[in-house]
Amino acid sequence: MTDRALVLARRWAPGVALVLAAGLLVAIPLLALLRTALEEGVAALAEAVVSAGPSIGASLWTSVAATVLAVVIGATLAVLTERTDVPGRRGLRMAMLLALIVPGYVAALGWLNTYGPGGMFDDLFGVAFPALVGPIGIVTVMGVEAAPIAYLIVVAGLHTRAEPDLERAARASGATAMEAFRTVTLPLLRPIIAGASAIAFVLSVTSFGVPAVLGIPAGFTTMTTRIYRDLAFSSDPSSFVRAVGLAIVLAVGAALVIALGDWLLERRRHARSGAFTGPMGQMGGAASGPQEEGGGRRWVRPRALAGGIFAWVVVSAVVLLPLVGLLLTALTKAPGLAPVPANWTLSNFAEVLDVRTLEALGNSLVLAGGAAVGVILLAGLAVMARRGRGAGVTGGLLGLTFALPGSTLAVAVLLAYGVALRDTLAIILVAYLAKFWALGFRPVAAGLDGIPADSYRAARVSGAGVWTTTRTIVLPLLRPMIIAGGLIVFMFGLHEVTMSSLLYGPGSATLAVVVLNLQQLGDNGLTAALALVLAMLVALAAVPIAGRAGALERIGWRR
């Protein structure tokens, strides 16, 4: 091989490998899904989708209601923590972060064990909410699950879109703090709130864990739980056709709404540096910094105090108390006993950690770790291929698969690799890599944009090759972003339930799947104990993410 051919091979090899990996993980499953849909025929798919009309309608209206709730909670708390002197702002922010890392189905279990029949409030005060099992509970918990995302987006919008100088001018002209917010800040935030609504809707309509925990026992079916039932429990061929049709409906709907959210979030992208780059992009920006009383940053103290009380009541009711209820259920000896220290025991934790659970825990750790390592390796390929066309194509494919509902992607992976890999950990790992690759790819892509081009050129001019320059200049600068991406993938992999529940087989169940199966068997104590174990594992995985990625600082959480 000539020197020129060798140079070309080294230059193009990373890009070719990147495109091949994207093809195996993303393109082939999606093409398999499309091929199967075409084989069944449009008429058969349409008939199958129409037969699932009630499930589609249930998904739509519950998701719209949950979106409204999520945006109201998230936007209100964002304004209170970023525009007022509410007491305990740091604690409120950390509580929202806690809500973000707790899996939705664990939160649903917490709500059941706190506010449902036989829950903590029922045992202590004789107050219960039976309607929690059904659509009302689904709307409530899905709204709470999506609220932290809406909160983060609005917080970033307050720091990058809402100009504090305009608020100061309005206050100097005699407007009250509320009038300045209503007439100046809120109009500037409307595209941000609309974009946050689009993302919250997609999270809700593609949610599986919450409808599975709160909907299946009540006979209330959404699109995601209908796909699960059709694939897992039905041998009727029409059920498979319906599952494929619903998967396509979810995919198309999610893609359209994500595209709308991207457009809304980027409408004013050039209005100020540090702007959003869309739902899949960086959600950060320069903080506006502290401002004087009356300058548009802080409301008067009595109003801030009232706002703080309101915020803490809301956060306690929707985030903290459900976790307390879950803990007390796990500690209480038997259902019906008051959750007081005299009735506490650790036997539920000891009983739940049996051989099957430990095997599932091992599967979860292997899958989450394998996905994290795989993403780091693939992110390294992305670094080396950053100047090739393959990186751009791959970025588009990865953005698409991350936006796809997990149930849709699971069906696609099953169609593509089910014959060879069915009921194995490998098929779940393929789905994890396809879904979560974007989580590692995006931080690396953002980090690449921040590396001065002159440092790269200087190394090349000094005689360093592409690989040497990448190894000595680029990778050291990107190492924190690559590791942070891997840690995020590990955290998501630990609590993933949608794809795992559709793809697992004998010996390949994950811890999240075992939690879901225990809940459906009706053993509240064991379910609560295992759900807490899972939540603690996820929380432990989240600790180094905040420290290494500096996520709080990048969205302006400086006080």
- What residues form DSSP beta bridges with 332? 344
- Give the number of other Cβ atoms within 10 Å of residue 22's Cβ: 26
Can you give 143-191 as a three-state secondary structure string? HHHHHHHHHHHHHHHHHHCCCHHHHHHHHHCCCCHHHHHHHHHHHHHHH
Sequence-ordered list of residues with C-beta below 8 angstroms from that of 181, at least 6 positions apart, any chain: 79, 83, 167
Residues 185-229 pLDDT 10s: 777 778 788 888 888 898 898 888 899 999 988 889 998 888 888
Residues of the chain falling short of pLDDT 70: 1-15, 160-168, 170-182, 234-235, 261-304, 380, 382-403, 442-457, 459-460, 463-467, 470-471, 545-559
- Residue 286 is predicted with a pLDDT of 38
The whole-number pLDDT of residue 99 equals: 85
Cα 151 from Cα 534, distance rounded (Å):
24
- Rounded CA gap, 525 and 335, in Å? 8
User: What 3-state DSSP class applies to 353?
Assistant: coil
Report pLDDT for 234.
Answer: 65
The predicted structure's pLDDT at residue 555:
37
Query: 88: alpha, beta or left, given left = phi > 0 and alpha = psi -120 to 50?
Result: left
Please report the DSSP string for 417-460 in residue order: HHHHHTTSHHHHHHHHHHHHHHHHHHHHHHHHHTS-HHHHHHHH
Angle at 402 between CA 400 and CA 404, to 5 degrees: 70
Predicted model pTM: 0.79
What SS3 class is residue 523? coil
What pLDDT shows up at residue 11? 62
